[in-house]
Amino acid sequence: MTKKKSPTKQPIPIDWLQIDKFIAAGGNGQQIADYLGMHHDTFYSRCVKENGMLFSEYAAKRRSKGDLMLYTAQFNNAMGGNTSMQIWLGKQRLNQSDQPRSNEEFNGKLANLLDALHLINDREEFEILVKKAKENKKPPFIEEGIKC
């Protein structure tokens, strides 16, 4: 009796353009391998064989593209008038806050610092200024020199 040869298992086809989209959307190698129905090690090996690079390198390039597309979409959404997106991007990129910062308080402290810097005559006064600033107090030569 002769044994029948079992048919050679055909490799699962990989559509690398689709994989690029999955990666750009934030998918990782394990998720993609699961989607394809193959073991992740097989998927990583196929990436090296078919693309000439490790999956980590391959994915980094595609993920970066996805990040840029997302930033662009958010920005365009904000520029299109989406107030919520404008506020969110302002907080993320411009360090804006819901807690208003008093310009008077900030400008007053800045003005005092600039006035103090103009009055420093030597290293000793500079060290006094630094020490008092850490204590949030005005050094004596500032009180004498500034007329409010």
108 in the same domain as 87: no
Q: CA 101 to CA 115: how far, in whole Å? A: 22
Is there a domain that residue 46 lies in? Answer: yes
Residues 12, 49 contacting (CB under 8 angstroms): no
Residue range of the domain that includes 136: 103-145
- Cβ 63 vs Cβ 29: under 8 Å: no
Amino acid 39 reads: H
Nearest alpha carbon to residue 27 among 53, 51, 58: 58
What is the distance of C-alpha 136 from the center of its chain? 34
pLDDT at 7 over 80: no
Q: Is residue 10 part of a domain?
A: no
Are residue 117 and residue 85 in the same domain, yes or no?
no
Q: Tell me, what amino acid is at 28?
A: N
**Which residue from 97, 67, 65, 93 is spatially nearest to 78, judged by alpha carbons?**
93
What number is the average pLDDT over the span 71-81?
Answer: 92
- In this prediction, residue 99 carries a pLDDT of 77
| 24-54 residue pLDDT tens | 999 999 999 999 999 999 999 999 999 999 9
pLDDT for position 73 = 93
Question: Does residue 81 lie in a domain region?
Answer: yes
Q: Is residue 138 part of a domain?
A: yes
The model's pLDDT over 125-145, given as tens digits with 9 standing for 90+, comes to: 778 777 877 777 666 655 555
The model's pTM: 0.56
Q: What pLDDT does 58 receive?
A: 96
